Structure 1
Amino acid sequence: MSGWLDDQVAIVTGAATGIGRAVVQRFMDEGVRGLVAVDRDAAGVAALAEAHGDRIRTVVGDVREWASHESAVATAVSTFGRLDVAVGNAGVFDFHRPLARYTPESLVAAMDEIYAINVRGYLLLALATREALTQSRGSLIYTGSVASHEAGGGGVLYVSSKHAVLGLIRRLALEFAPDVRVNGVGPGATLTELRGMDALGQAQRSLGADREASAARIVPTNPLRLAQEADDHAGLYVLLASRRDSRAVTGQLMLSDGGVGVRPIAPF
């Protein structure tokens, strides 16, 4: 039985946990020939390699650094012969911190960190993969967020960083056309291991740490009353990576947020 992504070769950043891990699994299920998993979590990507054998290669690295992306592309091309899709997914969260809770020093430190990961890391991935994706007429997919559209999707730094991702998707879709499609997936609040920032002392805090409490907070915020799981979003990455099923789609952010945008402004 054929899959949607038969014989494609992919890179996924932030691959060890959460949405990244779910995307890796779905890409495997849909027939990718090879995948390079990129993450700072050496044990996490090693577990992926153990689970999927020769179809997975790993790069332990930081998406803020050019060398990590360069190594991922080189690994994909040297091992599997090409690159068809790159998924920029690594990110950090700010746990809804408002501007008033920052000092000038903490604001600068936190902004440097979150923009370096959530925005610069995505641009470095685009720069590193552009040539190989052009050769294969492939696609670039970013993890945006409901916060790419909605002000309430995080604090001031997270929301602004994810609005920036929407801008990247649109601009890169224009620059990379007609050879490379550039799109994104915008998850809503999801029970994952998405962590906070070192600069704010949040690095050990994650959205899914207390799943029951987090679910109770998330369910009332969307019309479908869903506390979303990472797997709920993975199918959209498959769709956007499929040449057959999304060949006319570029410059788009597909929301997977339980319907946040159609919430009533008053009870009815």
Structure 2
Amino acid sequence: MRLRGEVALVTGGASGLGRAVVDRYVAEGARVAVLDRSSIGLAKLKETHGDAIVGIEGDVRLLESNKHAVARCIEAFGKLDCLVGNAGVWDYMATLVSMPDDQIEAAFDEMFSVNVKGYLLAVKAALPALYDSKGRVILTASNAAFYTSGGGPLYTSSKHAVVGLIKQLAYELGPHIRVNGIAPGGVVGSDLRGLKALGLQEQSISTISLPDMLDHVLPTGKVATAEEYTGAYVFFATRAETVPLTGSILDFNSGWGVRGLIDVNLGAELDRCFGKQTMDGKAA
């Protein structure tokens, strides 16, 4: 119960990684407000967690939606200790060459409106409450915030912008508010959707088998599940353990950045040298 008595607001918390963070926060003793566009997802959260959560249907691209979410959070729970900016969209690795001329401007505006402006507006709306509580801001970045091939140029540049946002806000809002980020790699169980401007709004990344794509090239040997990422979100939301922590981004990506240039049979050499031997002398 590391977050007992704490109150969090999570954007994009009704599915995927955001939902896993909400579940973990409640399990750790927190009460959680969730801003999401899915009324169905919010209803499922309420069924699961009851009075420990309050769901707010809205659009992270609008300041009024973010202000409404903060107001509902304070009305329900009396304060706000931690803001988790998590709502996002993906470009399905659409290359610059492949994007039609008549869609690229709208696609860029949509991507940055959700992935960057949505975070900025959430922090703006939460500032008074976080100042009062000496609270925390946690923004979800991505392996694409540091490396290529986690998305196309739209997604990758938006997540690089999130890194700059974290650093600048940490500078501006200290010492009263801590601002940090977490950069997951691929997420098994993610429901990250595509851009409406590219006709991908109903397509979920969950339709792609990330383990088949990545397990054989990642140094950890596997793509992490949404639940396996949540420990970092708990740690970054704690108070006593994060006193020196601000302006930092945890590169939490199964070794994406050190995966090398060729596919390898991960662990095979170690198994040959140190694996348990079977009766016929072969590694177990």
The alignment's TM-score, normalised by the length of structure 1, stands at 0.95
Identical aligned residues as a percent:
41
Alignment pair present for 1:22 and 2:23:
no
Superimposed CA distance per residue, residues 197-254 of structure 1 (whole angstroms, 9 cap, x where no aligned partner): 11111112111125xx332012133211212211121111100000011121111111
- 1:232 corresponds in structure 2 to 228
The separation in 2 between residues aligned to 1:209 and 1:58, in whole angstroms, is 26
Give the gaps of 5 or more residues in structure 2.
Answer: 265-284
| Counterpart pick for 2:133 among 133, 136, 149 | 136
Alignment pair present for 1:67 and 2:64:
yes
Runs of 4 or more off by more than 6 Å in structure 1? none
- Describe the SS at the equivalent of 1:7: coil
- Describe the SS at the equivalent of 2:207: coil
- Describe the SS at the equivalent of 1:231: helix
- Deviation at residue 115 of structure 1 after TM alignment: 0.6
- 1:158 corresponds in structure 2 to 155
Superimposed CA distance per residue, residues 78-122 of structure 1 (whole angstroms, 9 cap, x where no aligned partner): 221110000000000001111001233211010111110000000
- 2:84 corresponds in structure 1 to 87
Equivalences for residues 25-174 of structure 1 within 5 A: 25-32=23-30, 34-174=31-171
- Describe the SS at the equivalent of 1:245: helix
1:255 maps to amino acid:
D
- 1:245 corresponds in structure 2 to 241
- Deviation at residue 54 of structure 1 after TM alignment: 1.1
- Deviation at residue 263 of structure 1 after TM alignment: 2.2
2:3 maps to amino acid:
L
- 1:218 corresponds in structure 2 to 214
- 1:196 corresponds in structure 2 to 194
Aligned residues: 263
| Counterpart pick for 1:4 among 2, 5, 15 | 2
- Deviation at residue 167 of structure 1 after TM alignment: 0.5
The answer to whether the Cα contact below 8 Å between 1:42 and 1:60 also exists between their aligned partners in 2 is yes
The answer to whether the Cα contact below 8 Å between 1:190 and 1:207 also exists between their aligned partners in 2 is no
Superimposed CA distance per residue, residues 117-139 of structure 1 (whole angstroms, 9 cap, x where no aligned partner): 00000000010011110110110
Give the gaps of 5 or more residues in structure 1.
Answer: none
The separation in 1 between residues aligned to 2:97 and 2:263, in whole angstroms, is 30
- Describe the SS at the equivalent of 2:118: helix
- Deviation at residue 35 of structure 1 after TM alignment: 1.1
The alignment's TM-score, normalised by the length of structure 2, stands at 0.90
C-alpha RMSD over aligned residues? 1.3
- 2:207 corresponds in structure 1 to 209
The answer to whether the Cα contact below 8 Å between 2:186 and 2:210 also exists between their aligned partners in 1 is no
Superimposed CA distance per residue, residues 20-45 of structure 1 (whole angstroms, 9 cap, x where no aligned partner): 0000011001111x211111000101
Could you tell which deviates more after superposition, 201-210 or 177-186? 201-210
The answer to whether the Cα contact below 8 Å between 1:224 and 1:259 also exists between their aligned partners in 2 is yes
| Counterpart pick for 1:184 among 168, 181, 184 | 181
- 2:268 corresponds in structure 1 to none
The answer to whether the Cα contact below 8 Å between 2:217 and 2:263 also exists between their aligned partners in 1 is no
The separation in 2 between residues aligned to 1:231 and 1:195, in whole angstroms, is 19
- Deviation at residue 74 of structure 1 after TM alignment: 0.5
The answer to whether the Cα contact below 8 Å between 2:216 and 2:263 also exists between their aligned partners in 1 is no
